[in-house]
């Protein structure tokens, strides 16, 4: 399986996701944002970090780069796209995903391991998980407070486009375990064709027992299927 | 422009120093030259009050590749790997503007590390605030923590450890010390020494603005009344640009283009160019018209003294300029050749085709003043505490008081604001005695910790100096790392005060003794004097940052309890020393008394024994016993895990308070599975190590037989409420 | 009665805007990046752009002078970092 | 001649301000926290506060209509996220 990771000035989880992809046997290439063509890939990853310092709005400036035109083309032709953290923010800025990520409700950066629940295990990204499986994944962001309009909110529910929700160890979803104020505890969503996934938690940080746990591995394994 | 006495004074120069400048120049300096002297001769750059004491510190060892004197220290961790690290203070700027002060502090120390060719892999910090009830403390704490996080998170380097303390001695002068640790290839270290004539001197990074030109602004307001008043401007950190600078530098460092490289820190362009030239016994000529400026009409004076962040100076090999420029342009950074090396041994500054200033390099560096300041020995405090007169207190109440106090509350309110996981090599995050960072793509790791004990140092500087080195050493040992070397940040009051200078000299003596005994050399550091107000100096607060090596990491060992029904043993003798203890401070507000003795022989033997046990995989968790004593250490082990403990009543000491809260040094608590206990005993007996079995782990409860029994979850709550309610 | 009450409550509220900008000579990293991006997007005759904050504040107070004093206090106590920022209060009609 | 040139160059620059605010129905976490904090600081008659962004833009252009059109483009292309934000352009004298 071929993958590529788009690198913007200020991306800082690019090496982490590349390491994870290689460990999971993807053939990965890094793509500098000034390039005008993408290598042939089955999966395009937009990594986490602070592209352009998160200045203006997180993801806004990266969303305007030329390489994004190519990503949009690839997305429209069905290529799998994964945006993690800042990558998720970039996807919403370009309109590949609807909704937006506002400041965390307490206005503080949050880094911790949180529980999230697999809400749909019938996608290319999640087939190796059980439905309603509870994962423990690290989050690290300033702006992870997912927000969208009522129409899109309904669509997310109706078309089963919510990928993950914040929950407790047992899988209960409540405001108490909502780390950032996200609407309906949403931690990640798909587009309606389900070839694009944007998520705030960092699966690439959870593939190594020594460092954390291995709850992120099945996301990559699903993609390899 | 006439140099008046006022102007000299505003530049922080003493009369004698000015006379000395005239002698070295054989003439009067002009304003630009005066500014340069004042920058190079101030305490921060010249170390004029501390140099003769620092010279005594042990800085050598088999593991040391580069000791003090470069941008950062470098140690050998085997194979072709080296670790580059240093700590630095940003106290005064952080008090004025906590967010920007702290964040530029982090930015500055990172540049020190990556100028040497290392990729930064971890950040640490030691932050000290005034009393929590002081009106400024809360916003300072908030600003500093978000500033540290703001920079580290954005640039993408994990902030993995630190310490946070409150004490009214810092009411008017907080401490913000930041430490950075980087990884480099042993044969790819870059130094600041200039070499070769007529080589290009290159400016890279951000543009120069009027940031932090204090002397300048004050001086100009004085003698240039018609001009618009120039307020000293605060430096604003730009972690995004630093990330670009980091990547661009590391990219250029892949080949041999760079002869010498130096970040522009304090005194910016001045100190970086002088340092390069001085180390290489060369001269440097700069054409200031070429300096990239952010504001209009900047004068040579402002350009030379600006402390704008995210800038570097490099000397390049002939013919490499184009290649280097391409790299910096790829990263959207300025790259300008602003001068060349010369054989004049002078700093020559040209502007608009005129020489605006010319100073012999030696006058600025080698001939800078050095003072052997008067100092007086600390008088021994008599142990005046009459315990019989103290109101009786229950162990449980005393423990709760300590665990819920600002100084001992759980710090996750802080550490959750730092990205600790980015780079995916953090094997142990904040919360244990030391953080563990794996070397990327290898199975070895380093452990890092920063420590200080201002109360001990205030009461008995010599013992305090020894103690912090030992505590730092212990913190690395408990996670299974062999301590290799340290960096230190010496935060003290006014060195012109004999008592302060005495504290400095004696603390350093203590640090020296401990480092020598433990073979734990100092490879880098920083001195920050003049902390405090006119009349009140802060407590002496040396901060030690240590790095240790875990040769092969299987599973990170921390202080959270692992298994039910394990044995708990205490290594080291308990005498029940309560002087300077947090038991007395938190419960009785007593701050008198002597700190516990430090016995270096015991420290070394106990530490090495614990390390051996961990290396042989006989230990499930480990924690050193320090501030707060045995019961606090046991609480911390409980709170960070899913298990409780059941502790036996002490057999020998009849005063349980002394036993449970005494702060005797050189002690560790170890969790050992029953099946390993025999092996452990054997090793300890052969090593002649004092140990006692103190209890076992259990489910649910934190218990001391016949004294107290608290549900584990309640203990957690007690320890976790303060920050959330503050 | 009902009507009177409404009238009062309307009168009771005054609206202000606060504009917070970085002081001259203070580095504006955001503005710099935004300016470069706009230039790259082909907005060539952009001379300079600086970014600041904007607040819209409703105060329950009839007296305009008093109300403005309140807003000023909010600025000094929280909204503005006086060391690096300037601010300007305006009444919104 | 010298003078004329200066005059022209002055004319060439037009200054605009842009205020960007979150749409009414979009949650404003920042405004909310600020409001609570101000209330805790004793600013009791604060009714509501919303936070936005402010830009000061200099455009090299003589024609005010054209210049404003430029600024409008900047807003639509980058400065404003039209899905969640509103904006208002003003000429600064
Ligand atoms: N400002 C801070 N930044 C990062 N980590 C911190 C900070 N303050 C405290 N910590 C972490 O909290 C834990 C407890 O700190 P401390 O009580 O000082 O530990 P110790 O006594 O073992 O030195 C440590 O893991 C430390 O790294
Ligand atoms: Mg410890």
Q: What pLDDT, in 10s, does the model give residues B452-473?
A: 999 999 999 999 999 999 999 9
Of all ligands present, the nearest one to the C-alpha of B414 is 1
b/e B322-334 (16+ beta carbons within 10 angstroms → b):
eebbebbeebebb
Distance CA B470, CA D85 (A): 56
pLDDT of residue D44: 78
The β-bridge partners of C18 are C55, C89
Q: How close are the terminal C-alpha atoms of chain D, in Å?
A: 26
Does C contact A via 3+ CB–CB distances below 8 Å?
yes
Across the interface, do B240 and C84 touch by the CB < 8 Å criterion? no
pLDDT of residue B226: 41
In the predicted model, is pLDDT for residue A42 greater than 50? yes
Helices B268-279 and B31-41: crossing angle, nearest 10°?
70
B241 touches ligand 1 (CB under 6 Å): no
Across the interface, do D49 and C55 touch by the CB < 8 Å criterion? yes
Rg (CA), chain A: 16
Is B85 in contact with B40 (CB distance < 8 Å)? Answer: no
Name the least confident of A67-71, B681-685, D36-40. D36-40
Distance CA A97, CA A190 (A): 7
Q: Does A61 touch chain C (CB under 8 A)?
A: yes
From the candidates A4, A79, A85, A167, give the one annotated as an active-site residue. A85
Q: Which residues of A touch D79 (CB under 8 A)?
A: 56
B430 touches ligand 1 (CB under 6 Å): yes
Q: Phi and psi dihedrals of B404, rounded to 5?
A: -95, 5
B164 touches ligand 1 (CB under 6 Å): yes
Q: Does A66 touch chain D (CB under 8 A)?
A: no
Per DSSP bridges, beta strands B644-647 and B708-711 are unpaired
Q: Phi and psi dihedrals of C40, rounded to 5?
A: -65, -30
For residue B373, give every residue at least 6 positions away whose Cβ sits within 8 Å of its Cβ, in sequence order, or none. B49, B495, B496, B498, B501
B451 touches ligand 1 (CB under 6 Å): yes
Q: Does B332 touch chain C (CB under 8 A)?
A: yes
pLDDT of residue C13: 85
C77 DSSP assignment: I
Most A CBs within 10 A among B419, B427, B479, B642, hence the mutation to make, goes to B419
B211 CA to chain C: closest CA distance, Å? 7
pLDDT of residue B725: 86
Q: Which of B142, B148, B112 is nearest to B129 (CA)?
A: B142
Mean pLDDT of chain A: 97
pLDDT of residue B216: 43
Q: Which residues of C touch D64 (CB under 8 A)?
A: none
Q: Which of B628, B646, B652 is nearest to B704 (CA)?
A: B646
**Model pLDDT for residues C45-58, shown as the tens digit of each residue:** 899 999 999 999 99
Name the least confident of B344-358, C54-68, D31-45. D31-45
CATH number, domain at A61?
3.40.50.880
D89 CA to chain A: closest CA distance, Å? 17
* Cα A60 to the center of its chain, rounded Å: 16
Q: Is B53 tagged catalytic?
A: no
In the predicted model, is pLDDT for residue D6 greater than 70? no
Mutation pick for ligand 1 pocket among B90, B161, B489, B546 (CB with most ligand atoms within 8 Å): B161
Q: By alpha-carbon position, which residue is closest to atom 12 of ligand 1?
A: B431
Most D CBs within 10 A among A55, A95, A147, hence the mutation to make, goes to A147
Q: Does B294 touch chain C (CB under 8 A)?
A: yes
Distance CA A169, CA A135 (A): 8
At which residue do the structure tokens 């802060």 appear? B538
Q: What is the DSSP string of B671-692?
A: EE-GGGHHHHHHHHHHTT--EE
B497 DSSP assignment: S
Per DSSP bridges, beta strands A196-199 and A80-84 are parallel
Structure tokens at B434: 């030391």
Its pTM stands at 0.94
At which residue do the structure tokens 């700093």 appear? B347
Q: How close are the terminal C-alpha atoms of chain C, in Å?
A: 26
Per DSSP bridges, beta strands C46-60 and A2-7 are unpaired
pLDDT of residue A55: 94
Across the interface, do A109 and B146 touch by the CB < 8 Å criterion? yes
Is B495 in contact with B375 (CB distance < 8 Å)? Answer: no
B431 touches ligand 1 (CB under 6 Å): yes
At which residue do the structure tokens 């606090």 appear? B632
In the predicted model, is pLDDT for residue D7 greater than 60? no
Distance CA C14, CA C58 (A): 6
pLDDT of residue D39: 87
Of all ligands present, the nearest one to the C-alpha of B627 is 1
Q: What is the DSSP string of B236-297?
A: ---HHHHHHHHHHHHHHTTTT-EEEEEE--TTHHHHHHHHHHHHTT-EEEEEGGGS-BSSTT
Distance CA B433, CA B627 (A): 12
Q: By alpha-carbon position, which residue is closest to atom 19 of ligand 1?
A: B433
Tell me the CATH class for D2-24+52-92: alpha beta
Distance CA B339, CA B194 (A): 13
In the predicted model, is pLDDT for residue D58 greater than 80? yes
B177 touches ligand 1 (CB under 6 Å): no
**Ligand 2 centre from B606 Cα, in Å?**
15
From the candidates B11, B53, B90, B460, give the one annotated as an active-site residue. B90
Quick one: which atom of ligand 1 is closest to the CA of B471? 23
Is D55 in contact with D4 (CB distance < 8 Å)? Answer: no
Q: Which of B172, B73, B180, B75 is nearest to B126 (CA)?
A: B180
Distance CA A83, CA A65 (A): 16
Which alpha helices (DSSP H) does B91-238 contain, by range?
Answer: 91-96, 98-114, 137-155, 214-223
> B183 in helix, strand or coil?
strand
Report how many domains make up chain A. Answer: 1
Q: Is A85 tagged catalytic?
A: yes
Per DSSP bridges, beta strands A100-102 and B64-66 are unpaired
pLDDT of residue B212: 79
- Is the C-alpha dihedral spanning B246, B247, B250, B256 positive or negative? negative
Per DSSP bridges, beta strands B175-185 and A186-190 are unpaired
**Ligand 1 centre from B165 Cα, in Å?**
9
Is B412 in contact with A196 (CB distance < 8 Å)? Answer: no
At which residue do the structure tokens 């509220």 appear? C13
User: Predicted ipTM?
Assistant: 0.91
B230 CA to chain C: closest CA distance, Å? 9
Across the interface, do A9 and B243 touch by the CB < 8 Å criterion? yes
Is A140 in contact with A201 (CB distance < 8 Å)? Answer: no
Q: Phi and psi dihedrals of B702, rounded to 5?
A: -100, 115
Is B106 in contact with B153 (CB distance < 8 Å)? Answer: no
Does B contact D via 3+ CB–CB distances below 8 Å?
no
Q: Which chains pack against C, by 3+ Cβ pairs within 8 A? A: A, B, D
Is B111 in contact with B312 (CB distance < 8 Å)? Answer: yes
**Model pLDDT for residues B64-98, shown as the tens digit of each residue:** 999 999 999 999 999 999 999 999 999 999 999 99
Quick one: which atom of ligand 1 is closest to the CA of B126? 1
Q: How close are the terminal C-alpha atoms of chain B, in Å?
A: 53
Distance CA B122, CA B85 (A): 9
Most A CBs within 10 A among C30, C35, C51, hence the mutation to make, goes to C30
Distance CA A38, CA A31 (A): 7
- Taking the CA atoms of residue B355, residue B361, residue B362 and residue B366 in that order, the dihedral angle to the nearest 10 degrees is 140
Sheet holding B541-550, edge to edge: B426-428, B435-438, B445-451, B541-550, B482-491, B522-528
Is B544 in contact with B470 (CB distance < 8 Å)? Answer: no
Q: By alpha-carbon position, which residue is closest to atom 2 of ligand 1?
A: B162
Structure tokens at B617: 């995989």
Quick one: which atom of ligand 1 is closest to the CA of B451? 23
Distance CA B470, CA B477 (A): 10
Regions of chain B with pLDDT less than 70:
1, 214-233, 383-384, 653-654
Which alpha helices (DSSP H) does chain A contain, by range?
Answer: 14-23, 66-76, 86-94, 150-158, 217-224
Q: What is the DSSP string of B139-158?
A: HHHHHHHHHHHHHHHHHT--
Is B437 in contact with A128 (CB distance < 8 Å)? Answer: no
Is B539 in contact with B602 (CB distance < 8 Å)? Answer: no
Mutation pick for ligand 1 pocket among B122, B411, B476 (CB with most ligand atoms within 8 Å): B411
Question: If you average pLDDT over residues D55-73, what whole number do you get?
Answer: 93
HSE-up (13 A, CA, CB side) for residue A219: 31
**Ligand 1 centre from B475 Cα, in Å?**
11
Q: Which chains pack against A, by 3+ Cβ pairs within 8 A? A: B, C, D
C56 CA to chain A: closest CA distance, Å? 18
Domain borders along chain C are: 2-24+52-92
Mutation pick for ligand 1 pocket among B153, B163, B402, B468 (CB with most ligand atoms within 8 Å): B163
Across the interface, do C34 and A64 touch by the CB < 8 Å criterion? no
**Model pLDDT for residues A87-131, shown as the tens digit of each residue:** 999 999 999 999 999 999 999 999 999 999 999 999 999 999 999
Helices B461-477 and B498-518: crossing angle, nearest 10°?
40
Is B453 in contact with B584 (CB distance < 8 Å)? Answer: no
Q: Which of B70, B20, B27 is nearest to B41 (CA)?
A: B20
Which alpha helices (DSSP H) does B125-195 contain, by range?
Answer: 137-155
Structure tokens at C17: 């805007």
Distances (CA, A) of B638 to B558, B567, B569, B624: 12, 14, 15, 14
pLDDT of residue D2: 40
Q: Which residue of C has its CA nearest to D87?
A: C54
At which residue do the structure tokens 């008198």 appear? B592
A159 DSSP assignment: T
Most A CBs within 10 A among D77, D81, D85, hence the mutation to make, goes to D81
Range of the domain at A188: 2-224
pLDDT of residue B199: 96
C2 CA to chain A: closest CA distance, Å? 35
């Amino acid at each position: 399986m071929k993958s590529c990771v788009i690198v913007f000035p200020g991306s800082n989880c690019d090496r982490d996701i590349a390491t994870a992809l290689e460990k999971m046997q993807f053939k990965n290439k890094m793509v500098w944002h000034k390039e005008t063509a993408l290598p042939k890939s089955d999966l395009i990853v937009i990594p986490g970090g602070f592209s352009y310092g998160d200045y203006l709005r997180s993801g806004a400036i990266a969303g305007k780069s030329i390489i994004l035109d190519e990503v949009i083309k690839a997305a429209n032709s069905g290529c799998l796209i994964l945006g993690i953290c800042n990558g998720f923010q970039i996807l919403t800025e370009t309109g590949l995903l609807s909704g937006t990520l506002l400041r965390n409700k307490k206005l503080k950066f949050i880094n911790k391991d949180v529980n999230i629940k697999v809400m749909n295990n019938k996608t290319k990204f999640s087939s190796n998980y059980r439905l309603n499986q509870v994962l423990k994944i690290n989050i690290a962001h300033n702006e992870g407070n997912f927000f969208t309009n009522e129409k899109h909110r309904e669509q997310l529910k109706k078309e089963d486009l919510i990928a993950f929700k914040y929950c407790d160890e047992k899988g209960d979803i409540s405001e108490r375990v909502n780390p950032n104020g996200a609407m309906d505890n949403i931690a990640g969503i798909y587009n309606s064709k389900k070839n694009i996934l944007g998520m705030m938690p960092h699966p690439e940080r959870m593939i190594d027992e020594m460092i954390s746990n291995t709850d992120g591995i099945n996301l990559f394994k699903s993609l390899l299927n | 422009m006439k140099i008046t006495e006022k102007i000299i004074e505003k530049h922080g120069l003493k009369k004698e120093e000015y006379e000395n400048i005239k002698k070295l120049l054989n003439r009067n300096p002009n304003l630009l030259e005066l500014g340069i002297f004042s920058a190079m001769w101030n305490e921060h750059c010249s170390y004029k009050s501390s140099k003769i004491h620092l010279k005594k510190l042990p800085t050598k060892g088999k593991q040391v590749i580069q000791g003090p004197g470069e941008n950062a220290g470098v140690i050998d961790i085997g194979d072709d790997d080296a670790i580059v690290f240093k700590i630095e203070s940003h106290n005064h700027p952080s008090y004025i503007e906590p967010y920007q002060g702290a964040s530029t502090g982090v930015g500055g120390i990172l540049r020190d590390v990556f100028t040497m060719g290392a990729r930064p892999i971890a950040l640490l910090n030691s932050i000290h605030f005034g009393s929590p009830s002081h009106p400024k403390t809360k916003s300072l704490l908030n600003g500093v923590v978000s500033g540290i996080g703001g920079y580290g998170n954005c640039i993408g380097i994990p902030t993995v450890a630190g310490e946070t303390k409150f004490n009214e001695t810092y009411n008017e002068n907080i401490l913000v010390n930041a430490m950075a640790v980087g990884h480099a290839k042993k044969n790819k270290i870059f130094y600041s020494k200039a070499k070769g004539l007529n080589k290009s001197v290159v400016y890279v990074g951000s543009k120069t603005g009027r940031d932090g030109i204090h002397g300048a602004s004050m001086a100009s307001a004085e003698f240039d009344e018609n001009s618009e008043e120039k307020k000293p401007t605060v430096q604003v950190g730009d972690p995004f640009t630093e990330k670009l600078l980091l990547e661009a530098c590391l990219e250029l460092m892949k080949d041999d283009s760079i002869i010498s490289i130096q970040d522009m820190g304090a005194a910016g362009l001045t100190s970086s160019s002088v340092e390069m030239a001085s180390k290489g016994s060369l001269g440097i000529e700069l054409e200031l018209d070429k300096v990239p400026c952010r504001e209009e009409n900047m004068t040579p004076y402002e350009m030379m003294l600006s402390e704008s962040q995210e800038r570097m100076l490099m000397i390049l090999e002939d013919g490499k300029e184009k290649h280097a420029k391409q790299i910096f342009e790829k990263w959207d950074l300025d790259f300008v050749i602003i001068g060349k090396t010369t054989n004049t041994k002078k700093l020559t500054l040209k502007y608009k085709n005129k020489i605006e200033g010319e100073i012999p390099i030696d006058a600025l560096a080698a001939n800078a003043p050095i003072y052997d300041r008067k100092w007086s020995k600390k008088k021994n405090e008599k142990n005046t505490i009459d315990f019989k007169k103290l109101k009786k207190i229950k162990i449980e109440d005393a423990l709760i008081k300590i665990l819920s106090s600002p100084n001992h509350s759980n710090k996750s309110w802080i550490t959750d604001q730092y990205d600790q996981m980015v780079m995916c090599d953090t094997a142990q995050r904040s919360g244990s005695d030391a953080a563990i960072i794996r070397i990327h793509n290898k199975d070895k790791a380093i452990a890092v910790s920063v420590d200080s004990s201002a109360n001990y140092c205030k009461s008995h500087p010599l013992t305090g100096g020894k103690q912090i080195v030992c505590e730092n050493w212990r913190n690395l040992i408990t996670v299974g790392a062999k301590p290799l070397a340290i960096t230190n940040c010496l935060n003290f009051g006014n060195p012109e005060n004999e008592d302060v200078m005495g504290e400095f000299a004696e603390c350093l003596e203590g640090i020296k003794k401990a480092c020598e005994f433990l073979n734990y050399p100092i490879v880098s550091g920083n001195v920050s004097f003049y902390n405090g107000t006119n009349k009140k100096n802060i407590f002496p607060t040396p901060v030690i940052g240590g790095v240790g090596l875990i040769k092969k990491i299987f599973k990170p060992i921390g202080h959270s309890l692992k298994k039910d029904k394990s044995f708990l043993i205490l290594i080291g003798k308990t005498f029940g020393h309560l002087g300077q203890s947090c038991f007395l401070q938190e419960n009785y507000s007593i701050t008198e008394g002597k700190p516990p003795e430090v016995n270096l022989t015991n420290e070394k033997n106990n530490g090495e024994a614990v390390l051996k046990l961990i290396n042989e995989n006989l230990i499930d968790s480990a924690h050193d016993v320090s501030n707060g004593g045995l019961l606090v250490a046991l609480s911390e082990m409980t709170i960070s895990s899913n298990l409780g403990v059941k502790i036996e009543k002490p057999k020998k000491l009849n005063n349980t308070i002394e036993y449970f809260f005494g702060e005797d040094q050189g002690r560790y608590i170890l969790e050992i599975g029953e099946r390993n206990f025999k092996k452990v005993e054997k090793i300890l007996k052969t090593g002649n190590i004092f140990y006692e079995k103190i209890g076992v782990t259990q489910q649910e409860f934190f218990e001391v037989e016949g004294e107290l029994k608290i549900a584990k979850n309640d203990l957690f709550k007690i320890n976790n409420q303060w920050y959330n309610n503050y | 009665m009902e009507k009177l009450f409404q009238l009062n409550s309307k009168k009771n509220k005054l609206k202000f805007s606060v504009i917070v900008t970085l002081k001259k000579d203070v580095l504006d990293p955001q503005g710099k990046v935004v300016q470069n991006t706009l230039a790259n997007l082909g907005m060539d005759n952009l001379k300079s752009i600086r970014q600041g904050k904007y607040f819209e504040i409703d105060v329950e107070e009839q007296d305009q002078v008093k109300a403005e004093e309140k807003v000023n206090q909010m600025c000094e106590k929280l909204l503005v970092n006086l060391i690096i920022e300037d601010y300007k209060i305006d009444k919104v009609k």
